[in-house]
Amino acid sequence: MSLSKVVLASNNAGKLKEFSAILGAASIEMLAQNTLGVSEADEPHLTFVENALAKARHASRVTGLPALADDSGLCVPALNNAPGVFSARYAAMHGGEKSDAANNRHLLSELAGHSNRSAYYVAVLVYLRFADDPCPVIVQGRWHGEITTQPAGEYGFGYDPYFYLPDLGQTAAQLSPEQKNACSHRGRALKTLLETLQSEAN
């Protein structure tokens, strides 16, 4: 089956840009699901892998194309790995608005008083060749850092301005898109996915 066109089961412009930059090098064209009339899938599950699988199946079933979905988020051990799968709506779940700024404010509030500010981003990718594919390709990437108290950087999205990388001395939002793709949780997962798909093709 040709991998030239794959529907991305997301309407997130930031994710589409990151995915396209990496997968484009392998001649894979990512098509955003909203350009193909695909509505957002429900994400009722408590794990990244279950939500990613649900999104990929929905997008593939509607379009008839192979589908790639990710479910990703920030896990903070001091908060029992919250916000986790609820990263995009962390503040909204506690009466706030659904926005990156509100999510970051809520995160800092919840971490106040904690000495352990370690955190890691998780990205779980699910690739389906067709909607009822019984053997989906599932890969995971993690990116470890810590939550800082002051934002820095103009790139990225989500929690990136507060996600500090001690080894680099910068936040994720201070990295250029190329730098971020080379070391991020999503970049790592995508590279593993590419290796898997290429091995299948051989």
Q: Six-digit token pair at 35?
A: 């350009």
**Annotation marks residue 71 as catalytic:** yes
DSSP-derived 3-state class of residue 111:
helix
Contact 50, 40 (CB under 8 A): no
Task: Count other Cβ atoms within 10 Å, centred on residue 39.
Answer: 11
Contact 155, 176 (CB under 8 A): yes
Which parts of the chain sit beneath pLDDT 70?
A: 1-3, 201-202
pTM: 0.87
| pLDDT reported for residue 202 | 62
Q: Six-digit token pair at 121?
A: 């981003």
Distance of CA 108 to the CA centre of its chain: 21
| pLDDT reported for residue 1 | 40
Q: pLDDT by residue (tens digit) across 18-38? A: 788 777 777 788 888 988 888
Selected catalytic residue, list 42, 70, 71, 132: 71
| pLDDT reported for residue 114 | 95
Mean pLDDT of the chain: 91
Q: pLDDT by residue (tens digit) across 58-96? A: 999 999 999 999 999 999 999 999 999 999 999 999 999
Could you tell me which of 143, 178, 122, 133 has the C-alpha nearest to residue 6? Answer: 133
What domains are defined for the chain? 5-201 (3.90.950.10)
